[in-house]
Structure 1
Amino acid sequence: MIFALVALAVLALLVLVHRWLWIRLVRDTTAPGGWPRRVLTGCAVGLPVLSVAALVAGRAGAPFWVQRGVAWPGFMWLAVLLYLSLAMLVAEPARLLLLRHPRPTPADASIAGGAGVADGPPAQASSAAPLASGGASIAGGAGVAAGRAGESVLGSGVSSAGPLASGGASIAGGAGVVSGEAGFVSGGAGIADGPAGELRSGSAAALVAPTSSASPAFEAPPEAKAGGRAEGQAPAPQASPAIEAPPEATRAGAAQAARGVGSSRRVFVARVLAGAAVAAAGGTVGYGTYGVLRGPRVKRVTVPLAKLPRAAHGFRIAVVSDIHLGPILGRAHTTRIVDTVNATQPDLIAIVGDLVDGSVHDLGPAAEPLARLTARHGSFFVTGNHEYFSGARQWVDHVRELGLHPLENARQELPYFDLAGVNDVAGESEGEGPDFDKALGGRDRADRTAVLLAHQPIVIHDAVRHGVDLQLSGHTHGGQLWPGNYLAELANPTVAGLERYGDTQLYVSRGAGAWGPPVRVGAPSDITVVQLASYQT
């Protein structure tokens, strides 16, 4: 019941995290209905499904090819999800800071949106065709134009297809009005009024003429500028009265421009932060993956033991834990580990659990290189919790066939010390849990050093009670993915390295492989060569 409640809580948390990431990475950065949003939304739905499939495929008995098919994308998404979420959490204060600015006034919005007020001397507007009287139109954006004597001063995104012809040409396109002797313009968010077609203010956009014939740029004659006419010319038509735009329309146009400014800013900030977060998460996961696929590095630790005889000084034990052969890490991974271990020329090899994540049928070929392990006093194996998920009995029998010596709650008396091994605590569900009395009972505790192989560090207190001098463990992966080490500390007495508990020393390896995502961040994989030292030298 408790497990089910925890599972539901974790599932609900994952749904909320994915929803939040979709808002920040997809909704805030893409246009509604566009193909980028559709593709990214599909990924936001499909990748979590693959992650769940990767987690349950093995235990559900799915064919191995199915496990391999869902493992790479499913497990890798879990790693990306972790660091993408952390990156977006870091970016959230920056987003709030960058979007914190005073609310723009209508005038500020007009200027910020590309609109402005232009004032100047007479000028000519380039044209492709004249604007016929009463037939022209302006379809407007958010610009403001002003000038004199037929001048066309173009704001944001304004183009002219022809000059304003005399005679009350109406140009409609928004909520603004331009009027004068040469015509009037209605278009945008402002009002212009003046002689000879002057545009004082407004929101000008494209000047479009109904005719296709080209004509030279229009310039009002001097007489028109002075309010008169040239000799022999027809009288100029009377100026059309100015048309006032409703104040509500003016305010609506300015508000719309302000919203456009704010929307553009939000999208820009969202895209920059999303790009930075994706780059940071991708780089982190990529480097962590390289570290695992490259293979573990050798770490050397010296452990002095009080009862170790002088003849055993310098005895080397190669400690290998958490190889985790499975749908991602296969035969090549085993080969790298075997070659690395053999290169250290150890006296004894100890594989302390979590060798596999699958059955002998699926992973037997991947484990075959273990038969090449070479050590003077042999190679030994104890079960980990993942062996019991995969069928511990079949794996114990298989590693024996490969030349390893399983220690199932058993002890091996070596020339210089006793080597004992206990089953993992996960075996208790099958009646095969650790039995310290069987493994360590009846030995000479006063004069003989005892080295214990136990997968999980949590049994250290049992080891102390039974007079163990050194316990070698794994299981924690060192946290594997930062900040997972902090969670690992809550469940284990030691996460990685060497620590002392009374008269017993505990060494915990970070492991040679990785579970789930083949990624390690802040906890590099290792093979540890533990060199025993005698106080009698």
Structure 2
Amino acid sequence: MFFVILSSVLTLMHLYVWKRVARDTTRPGRARWALTGVVVGLGVLLVATLILPRALDTPEPRWLAWLGYVWFGAVVYLVLALLVLEPVRLALRRWVRREPPAQEAPVVNRRLFLARASAAAAGATALGVTGFGVHTALSAPDVLRVPVTLRRLGAGFDGYRIAVVSDIHLGALLGRAHTERIVRMINETEPDLVAIVGDLVDGSVDELGYAAEPLRDLVSRDGAFFVTGNHEYFVNDPPSWIRELDRLGVRSLQNESTVIRRGDAAFDLAGVNDIGGARFDEPPDFDRALAAADPARPTVLLAHQPVLVDEAAARGVDLQLSGHTHGGQTWPFHYAVRLVQPSLAGLSTFDDTQLYVTRGAGFWGPPLRVGAPPDISVLTLQGE
């Protein structure tokens, strides 16, 4: 059903692009046929990229992924630009129709000119936004330094640094070099603890194990910890990634907690599985994850999706660290993300629980980020 809906939407988008870019801008003849062939070819390319590898259960060729996903982003912005220009074009067409009958031949030329001008303007806009988005997505993540005040935090943790990274999305477009850069940037911040809050990979260990290997080089006093995101459950064997990360020295918190100590001071670090784990009978279990937490000390929870903050607040969690949203990734789609998540990015408060959401260090789908650059966040804890 998902494939049917997706194919229908893509078909409608390409039909609209064909009408506005090919049919309305040309007279019958070779030019129209050529433009039609280009639009059809790009549509087939996109369908092949999005659907065929999943339908056939085969890895995506890297070249196909790059071409298809870049066009995916470009066609979305092309459609948006055409829709924005549509009222202007229609208003000018009505003005053209009011010309005297003697001007009939020039009227036809003017209408063709309006169609071509609006299509060219939309194309230039889409090309510019897509180029900017690709550059932003592939650039080094911003390093954000965020002070966070926690109740009951012992003096031994004043200045304690937690490096938070999420949504690395290793896959056909992002590989080992992406991981190496992230590891290098995290290590340069000299963190006390590293929290990887889900969506590390978009594929199996066999496909992406090599790309994840640099994680073994993470350096922090208290280690690196991981919780699953929804994408970890897109593979047929999610536990294989837990075993692989354990081999790389990254500890997974699967509905469990551990105690982080500094002398007599301590806080509980807990982690819950992503909501997507329900498919494998591994849903988030807050009661189990927080069973050993001591209410006399702060609790920091790793949970991939910000929407879980309600459950965290009901159980007195002091700080939840999340990702998942990508900060919206591409404007204007952050409006849709904001409808289903309580926060897009940054630090916010729900009841007595603070929620920090990182925009993530990678991307998913089109290799674009517009209005939501990637980040690695370093949270510096301080007591009240």
Question: Which TM-score bucket, shorter chain as reference?
Answer: over 0.9
SS at match of 1:345: coil
Match of 2:222 in 1: 377
Out of 170, 175, 184, the residue aligned to residue 325 of structure 1 is 170
Measured in 2, the distance between the counterparts of 1:29 and 1:285 equals 23
Q: When you count helix as a share of all residues, which structure comes out higher?
A: 2
Cα gap change, 1:307/1:59 in structure 2, threshold over 3 Å: closer, same or farther?
A: farther
Q: How does 1:31-430 map to 2 (within 5 A)?
A: 31-34=27-30, 36-60=31-55, 62-64=57-59, 66-99=60-93, 100-101=95-96, 103-106=98-101, 108-109=102-103, 258=104, 260-390=105-235, 391-415=237-261, 416-430=266-280
Whether contact under 8 Å (1:418, 1:451) holds in the other structure is yes
CA drift of 1:465 comes to 2.1
Q: Give aligned-pair identity as a percent.
A: 52
CA drift of 1:482 comes to 0.8
Whether contact under 8 Å (1:57, 1:67) holds in the other structure is no
Count how many residue pairs are aligned between Structure 1 and Structure 2.
Answer: 378
Cα gap change, 1:313/1:366 in structure 2, threshold over 3 Å: closer, same or farther?
A: same
Measured in 1, the distance between the counterparts of 2:197 and 2:72 equals 27
Q: What is the one-letter code of the residue matched to 2:335?
A: Y
Match of 1:516 in 2: 365
Cα gap change, 1:32/1:479 in structure 2, threshold over 3 Å: closer, same or farther?
A: same
Q: What is the one-letter code of the residue matched to 1:408?
A: Q
Whether contact under 8 Å (1:59, 1:389) holds in the other structure is no
SS at match of 1:59: helix
Measured in 1, the distance between the counterparts of 2:109 and 2:44 equals 34
Measured in 2, the distance between the counterparts of 1:362 and 1:8 equals 27
Instruction: Give the structure-1-normalised TM-score.
Output: 0.68
TM-superposition CA deviations, 1:94-114 (whole Å, max 9, x none): 2123321354445x43xxxxx
Match of 1:473 in 2: 322
SS at match of 2:51: helix
After TM superposition, the structure 1 stretch with the greater mean CA deviation from structure 2, 262-271 or 282-291, is 262-271
TM-superposition CA deviations, 1:353-373 (whole Å, max 9, x none): 000101111111111111111
TM-superposition CA deviations, 1:277-311 (whole Å, max 9, x none): 11111110111111111121111111101111111
Whether contact under 8 Å (1:47, 1:73) holds in the other structure is no
Q: Unpaired runs of 5+ in structure 2?
A: none
Alignment pair present for 1:26 and 2:26 = no
Measured in 2, the distance between the counterparts of 1:418 and 1:57 equals 45
Match of 1:245 in 2: none
Measured in 1, the distance between the counterparts of 2:70 and 2:13 equals 17
Measured in 2, the distance between the counterparts of 1:493 and 1:334 equals 29
CA drift of 1:467 comes to 1.8
Match of 1:499 in 2: 348
Whether contact under 8 Å (1:353, 1:385) holds in the other structure is yes
After TM superposition, the structure 1 stretch with the greater mean CA deviation from structure 2, 67-76 or 336-345, is 67-76
Alignment pair present for 1:440 and 2:290 = yes
Measured in 2, the distance between the counterparts of 1:395 and 1:287 equals 33
Measured in 2, the distance between the counterparts of 1:88 and 1:102 equals 21
Measured in 2, the distance between the counterparts of 1:269 and 1:356 equals 46
Match of 1:450 in 2: 299
TM-superposition CA deviations, 1:248-280 (whole Å, max 9, x none): xxxxxxxxxx2x222211111111111111111
Measured in 2, the distance between the counterparts of 1:57 and 1:406 equals 32
CA drift of 1:12 comes to 3.4
Measured in 2, the distance between the counterparts of 1:413 and 1:287 equals 43
Match of 1:529 in 2: 378
Task: From the CA coordinates, give the structure whose radius of gyration is larger.
Answer: 1
Q: What is the one-letter code of the residue matched to 1:40?
A: L
Q: What is the one-letter code of the residue matched to 1:487?
A: A
CA drift of 1:57 comes to 4.2
CA drift of 1:478 comes to 1.1
CA drift of 1:61 comes to 5.1
Whether contact under 8 Å (2:358, 2:375) holds in the other structure is yes
Measured in 2, the distance between the counterparts of 1:411 and 1:478 equals 27
TM-superposition CA deviations, 1:343-395 (whole Å, max 9, x none): 11111100000001011111111111111111111111111110010231111
Q: What is the one-letter code of the residue matched to 1:422?
A: V
Cα gap change, 1:67/1:421 in structure 2, threshold over 3 Å: closer, same or farther?
A: same
Match of 1:12 in 2: 8
Q: Unpaired runs of 5+ in structure 1?
A: 110-257
Whether contact under 8 Å (2:159, 2:382) holds in the other structure is yes
SS at match of 1:505: strand
Whether contact under 8 Å (1:460, 1:506) holds in the other structure is yes
Whether contact under 8 Å (2:3, 2:51) holds in the other structure is no
Which ranges of 4 or more aligned residues in structure 1 deviate by more than 6 Å? none
TM-superposition CA deviations, 1:385-429 (whole Å, max 9, x none): 100102311111111111111111111111021111111110111
TM-superposition CA deviations, 1:422-478 (whole Å, max 9, x none): 111101111111111221113311x11110001111111111122211000001111
SS at match of 1:295: coil
Measured in 1, the distance between the counterparts of 2:188 and 2:355 equals 25
SS at match of 1:302: strand
Q: What is the one-letter code of the residue matched to 2:281?
A: G
Whether contact under 8 Å (2:97, 2:107) holds in the other structure is no
CA drift of 1:7 comes to 6.0
Q: What is the one-letter code of the residue matched to 2:65?
A: A
Point out which structure has higher relative CO (alpha carbons under 8 A, 6+ apart).
2
CA drift of 1:489 comes to 1.1
SS at match of 1:292: helix
Cα gap change, 1:8/1:62 in structure 2, threshold over 3 Å: closer, same or farther?
A: closer
